[in-house]
Every structure is written in C-alpha cells, then in structure tokens.
Amino acid sequence: MSSSHTFLKYTRLVHLYLGVFITPALLFFAFTGALQTFSLHETTRSSSYKPPVWAVVLGQIHKKQTTVVPVRKVPPPDKPEKSGDKPSDKLNDNPVERLADKPTTDKSQSASPSVATQFAPNASPKPSDAPTPKPHNALPLKIFFLIVAIGLFVSTLTGLYMSYKYIRNRILITAIFIAGVVIPVLLTIL
C-alpha cells in the first residue's frame, strides 16, 4: 500500500469515529438552535407565550452549558424600577434609541444625526427631515437558519446511518455513539 492510500484510509477512520462521537451533540445543537432561532425557549414581554420547561432547559444548556435557569423578576408595568426610571425606559434596549431619548445639553449637537448630515459641511441636522429607519425584517434570515438547522440534522442522521451501513464493526460504532451521548450528559449533571 502506498503512503497516500494509507493516509486516506486512516483519515476516513478518524472522520468516521469522530463523526459518530459528535453526532449526538450535533443533533442537539441543530434542534435547540432551531428552537432559539424563533425564540421558542424564552418568554417575551409583548406576548402571552409561555415556553415549555424542556425547551427552556435545553436552550439554557445550549447557551450557558448548565441546566440552571435563572429566575427573572419582571417588575409590574405600573411600578417604577429601583433606580427611579420609568418601566418603559427598561423596554428600550436599542442603544441608538436610548441616545435619541436623552436630552442633550449642547443645542448644536443632536443625539442621532443622519449619516448625510454628519458628513455635510455646515449642515445642521433637522429631526423632522431625518428619514425613519425601516425596521429590519428578520423572518427571511430566520427561515434560512431553520433550513440550515434541518439540513444539519438530516445530514447528521444520514451520516450515522452510513456509518452503520458501510462499516463491519457495528459494536465499536455503537459504543462510540453511546459515549457521545453519555459523556455530555454526565458533564451536564456534574
């Protein structure tokens, strides 16, 4: 056997065994990533949707590698926050909008001038002339990532099927697959 043929043979074996070992993790991340793409693991303030506990725990494992889900206390809408801010101020998480909401001490500066007025010489920004930014439609990208997650899931399953179909030592493949399931579960529990 030539050295290139030997190298290719061992490369295929390494690919096979590593692929079978990480198959459970790939399936887990593809599934939980698809859930997270559409925020099915979390509660939003503007919705009455309450996610199932299993989705919250799997999302927490995916993001923080722990099953401990922190309890988030949401203040009632009629009570102000501890810092004295209005509750509506806490909902505004966009830093650009927060800057626009703050009053400026210098009247010659604007909190969020448009790009055209920033680079125009001797132009003063007028808030009424500034175009309102179009909100980004994230749905097409979310659908794309859902298709990617489904593709990864199906591709991983077909790879596992082929590892059993075209290898003679099925006991070794099964042992490696079980190790790929048991090790992360043990590391999550410990």
The answer on pLDDT for 155 being more than 70 is yes
- Residue 160 pLDDT level (bands cut at 50, 70, 90): very high
End-to-end CA distance of the chain: 47
**Which residues are CB-neighbours of 101 under 8 A, at least 6 positions away?**
89, 92, 111
Residue 41 burial class via C-beta count within 10 angstroms: exposed 0-12, middle 13-18, buried 19 and up: buried
Q: What is the DSSP letter of 65?
A: S
pLDDT of residue 118: 52
**Which residues are CB-neighbours of 150 under 8 A, at least 6 positions away?**
30, 34
The answer on pLDDT for 159 being more than 60 is yes
pLDDT of residue 136: 86
The structure tokens 């930014």 sit at 133
Joined together, the tokens standing for residue 115 give 């790009």
pLDDT > 90: what percent of the chain?
A: 45
pLDDT of residue 95: 44
- Residue 67 pLDDT level (bands cut at 50, 70, 90): confident
Cα 159 to the chain's mean position, in Å? Answer: 25
pLDDT per position as a tens digit, 20-65: 999 999 999 999 999 999 888 888 777 788 888 999 999 999 988 8
The number of beta carbons lying within 10 Å of the beta carbon of residue 59 is: 20
Joined together, the tokens standing for residue 50 give 């309450």
| Residue 133 half-sphere exposure toward CB, CA atoms < 13 A | 10
